[in-house]
Amino acid sequence: MRILVVAAQEVEAKELARNLERYGHEVTIVDSGAAALEQYERANFVLLDLDLPDMDGLDVCRALRETGGLPVIAFAGGGTELDRVLGLRAGADDCLDKPFEIRELAARMEAVMRRRKPRRPVLDPKTAVSIGELHIDAVSRKVRVRERSVRLTRKEFDLLYYLARHSEMVVTRQRLLAEIWEIPLALAAGYQASRTVDTHVNSLRNKLGRSSWIVTVRGVGFRVGVG
């Protein structure tokens, strides 16, 4: 997920960014409200320190809500109930006192995303996908390479279909674990969890007949190839 961190304290912002990157997120840091309003469109989530040098953080929060509708978690330095209430009334999805633990922040981000994104099936039953000689039928859950039928397990099919539906991008292991295995992003960075994806990818490559159908992008994740 692309996260915009808006914070004037450089040391704190960089430490937060490092922690978020360990969870598989892509982080951009800006140190002012004006910069936040210029760059919010590139983000999927905003973490906003309300103590900013150039603008009232509450005004920035309201503007983000009105112009972008992005999920926002605000950080309040005062540590009072009023600070949190004002942040929520300004449009933040959640508000945390500083300092905070990264695990609590990650859990709150997951909760915000669950509230904003109603549960839906991974598959769209009306959609079929073809990439070169690879054909995926979501209705019958059948896969063909050229004219050869490929038998897949449920998770293998879901994984291939998800990658095919997002063929224009590289999908991280963490995102695949969240979407296919429904493991929260906050828990999806572990070694054993990542091995689950790798095992299914290797099985898919073997069944499809060529490893080039699923390309590994080192340090990032996977994308569908052209066989």
Nearest to 5 by CA among 50, 39, 34, 46: 46
pLDDT of residue 180: 85
Q: Look at residue 121 and tell me if it is in a domain.
A: no
Between 97 and 68, whose confidence is greater? 97
Lookup: tokens for 175: 């995102």
CATH number, residue 174? 1.10.10.10
Please indicate, yes or no, if residue 12 is contained in any of the structural domains.
Answer: yes
| Total domains present in the chain | 2
Whether the per-residue pLDDT at 220 is higher than 60: the answer is: yes
In this structure, are 73 and 102 located in the same domain?
Answer: yes
The residue among 57, 89, 116 that closes a domain is 116
pLDDT digits (tens, 9 = 90+) for 36-88: 988 888 888 999 999 999 999 999 998 888 776 789 999 988 767 788 888 88
Q: What's the confidence (pLDDT) of residue 119? A: 46
Token digits for 222? 């996977």
Percentage of the residues of the chain whose pLDDT score is greater than 70: 88
CA–CA dist 45, 67 (Å, integer): 14
Closest CA to 50 of 76, 20, 89, 15: 76
Residue that finishes a domain, picked among 61, 95, 116: 116
Comparing C-alpha atoms, which of 92, 82, 106, 130 is closest to residue 183? 106
Angle at 98 between CA 60 and CA 48, to 5 degrees: 20
**Residue 75 counted as domain residue:** yes
More confident residue, 196 or 200: 200
In percent, how much of the chain has pLDDT > 90?
A: 47
Q: pLDDT at position 150, please?
A: 95
Confidence (pLDDT) at 127: 75
Nearest by Cα to 198 from 219, 226, 221, 165:
221
What whole-number distance in Å separates Cα of residue 60 and Cα of residue 28? 17
Beta-bridged to residue 3, according to DSSP, are: 27, 45
Q: How sure is the predictor about 195, in pLDDT bands with cuts at 50, 70 and 90?
A: confident
Q: Output the pLDDT for position 64.
A: 87
Compute the mean pLDDT over every residue in the chain, rounded to the nearest whole number.
Answer: 86
pLDDT score for 148? 94
Cβ neighbours around 67 below 10 Å, total? 11
Please check whether residue 14 lies inside any domain of the structure: yes
Q: What is the spatial distance between Cα 161 and Cα 171, in angstroms, rounded to a whole number?
A: 12
Q: What is the pLDDT of residue 66?
A: 79
What residue numbers bound the domain in which 216 lies?
128-224
Q: Which of 116, 144, 179 is the last residue of a domain?
A: 116
Mean pLDDT value of segment 3-25:
92
Please state which of the ranges 2-6, 43-47, 119-123, 151-155 shows the lowest mean pLDDT. 119-123
Instruction: pLDDT band for 96, please (50, 70, 90 cuts).
Output: very high
CB–CB of 75/49 below 8 Å? Answer: yes
Q: Assess if residue 123 is contained within a domain.
A: no
